[in-house]
Chain A
Amino acid sequence: MGAHKGRPYIGTHYTPDGREAMTYTTDQYEGLIAETITVTGANGDPVTAYFARPLGPGPFPAVLLIHHLPGWDEFYRETARRYAHHGYLCLSPDLYCRAGHGAPEDVAAKVRAGGGVPDDQVVGDAQGCIDMLRAHPAHNGKVGVTGTCSGGRHTVLIASRAAGVDAAVDCWGGRVVQAPGDRPPAQPVPPIDYTADLQCPLLGLFGEDDSAPSPAQVAEHEAALQAHGKTYEFHMYPGAGHGFFYYDRPAAYRAEAAVDAWEKIWEFFGRHLGG
């Protein structure tokens, strides 16, 4: 295992050029630590975050994980631990923490009634997280960002407006394309308008039956990426709608699409983050 610099190879991993490197064997050591921490976010505000990372000195690539509209819930803790299990430092900030604390869906209800979190604040919070990850002694110098639902929209925004992002995975982000009349004060600029500033390769995972984003909106985003010469991969899953990763939501979960999409994430982040 010495050739792998202490990194826990769990599941299937990939070399930087995308080739399968190694699969888990039952005799290898694994361990991780996961805990709630505080990160300095936009305007110097303290932002609650969940940080999961493999044990050991690394170097490990990092992933910034952005939660969905229904809040900073258990799915994100589990997903953060999954990234750590696959060898990533994973930081998931609570973008709603300024609204107070309580059950995630209660906090989300308050944020929703207030028009959602401001895009500028999200970018500031993300920058604080990226800076924290880049300063971590076990970090390998590469940072990816990903999120689902509104977190997918935020992923595109962060990959365009924050500094220091090496790869991004948008999981069915709604309102990357915003309708002409949809310019609320908190989200005044559609993320698609920042396409020229997208700084890294983008992987997009979508469901054909989704209404936000609709296949037409995904196609519009894809056309903008092509027009600006950006590196991207979009995958549209038939028979899947919004939230097809959510195993805790039987009506949304699509096992076949989720398994395939996760494999694409491991390959993509492995290739671009030097895992």
Chain B
Amino acid sequence: MCTMIAAKLPLSAAAKGPAGWFPADHAYLAYDHPARLAAEHALLLDFVREADGPSRRLAVELPLPDAVALRDALSRAIDQAAAHEGAAPGPTA
């Protein structure tokens, strides 16, 4: 943990990896050293099913500007989705 910027939250989601779809029960968020992206640090986003072991993981490594753009796009989409549903969304897990 070189930055100590990390978070973990429960989900009730579905994710698709190389082995197909799986129920994702947690998201991992961190800003730390990426495994593949050519950068010292990156926004690391994982969707996992913990009971299946470390390999059941959908992983994305984002440069910080891309992470900001994704956050803003997610926020806009969530607002639109909430308006579509006629209510503010709440966590499902």
Are A212's CB and B53's CB within 8 A?
no
Chain B residue numbers with a CB within 8 Å of A242 are 33, 40
Q: Mark A160-188, 1 if CB is under 8 A from B, else 0.
A: 00000000000000110000001010110
Q: Given A101-B54, A108-B35, A249-B38, A184 and B4 touching (CB < 8 A)?
A: yes
A112, B28: Cβ atoms under 8 Å? yes
B25 to A: closest C-beta gap in Å: 12
1/0 per residue, CB under 8 A from B, across A60-86: the answer is 000000001111000000000000000
Across the interface, do B38 and A116 meet the contact criterion of CB distance under 8 Å? no
Q: How many residues of A contact B (CB 8 A)?
A: 39
Task: Give the chain A neighbours of B2 by CB distance below 8 A.
Answer: 69, 149-150, 174-175, 212
CB–CB B54/A175 < 8 A: no
Complex-state Cα separation, A183 to B41, whole angstroms: 21
B51 shortest CB reach to chain A, Å: 11
Residue B39 CB within 8 A of the other chain: yes
Interface residue from A102, A107, A113, A243 paired with B40 (Cβ < 8 Å): A243
**Is the CB–CB distance between B55 and A112 below 8 Å?**
no
Contact of B77 with A by CB under 8 A: no
Set B35, B36, B46: member contacting A113, Cβ < 8 A = B46
State which of A109, A175, A250 has its C-beta within 8 Å of the C-beta of B59.
A109
Number of A-B contacts (CB under 8 A): 88
For window 46-60 of B, CB contacts with A under 8 Å fall at 46, 48, 50, 53-55, 57, 59
Number of residues from B at the complex interface, CB < 8 A: 28
Q: Are A175 and B4 touching (Cβ within 8 A)?
A: yes
Given contact pairs A106-B55, A107-B54, A211 touches B33 in the complex (Cβ within 8 A): no
What is the 8 Å Cβ interface bit string for chain A, positions 248-261, against chain B (1 contact, 0 not)? Answer: 01111000000000
By CB atoms of chain B within 10 A, which of A70, A113, A243, A252 has the most?
A113
Chain B residues within an 8 Å CB radius of A174: 2-3
Query: Interface code A90-109, partner B: CB below 8 Å = 1, 0 otherwise?
Result: 00000000011111111111
Taking a contact as CB atoms under 8 Å apart, the answer to whether B54 and A114 are in contact is: no
> A252 and B40 in contact (CB under 8 A), knowing A109-B46, A112-B1, A150-B2?
yes
Given A69-B32, A242-B40, does the pair A106, B57 have CB atoms closer than 8 Å? yes
Question: Is B54's CB under 8 angstroms from A102's CB?
Answer: yes
By the criterion CB–CB under 8 Å, are A99 and B54 in contact?
Answer: yes
CB of B1 within 8 A of CB of A175, answer yes
In the complex, are the beta carbons of A112 and B32 less than 8 A apart?
yes
- Chain B residues, Cβ within 8 Å of A105: 35-36, 59
Q: Is A110 an interface residue (CB 8 A)?
A: yes
Question: How far, in Å, is B42 (CB) from chain A's closest CB?
Answer: 11
Q: Is A115 an interface residue (CB 8 A)?
A: yes
- A100-B8 contact given A69-B1, A69-B2, A187-B1, CB 8 Å threshold: no
Counting from the closest, the 6 A-B pairs by CB-CB distance are: A102-B55, A105-B35, A116-B1, A251-B38, A113-B28, A102-B54
Q: Given known contacts A69-B2, A212-B3, what 18 new A-B pairs fall within 8 Å (CB)? A: A71-B35, A102-B54, A105-B36, A108-B35, A109-B28, A109-B48, A109-B57, A109-B59, A112-B28, A113-B8, A113-B46, A115-B6, A116-B1, A174-B3, A182-B4, A184-B1, A211-B41, A243-B33
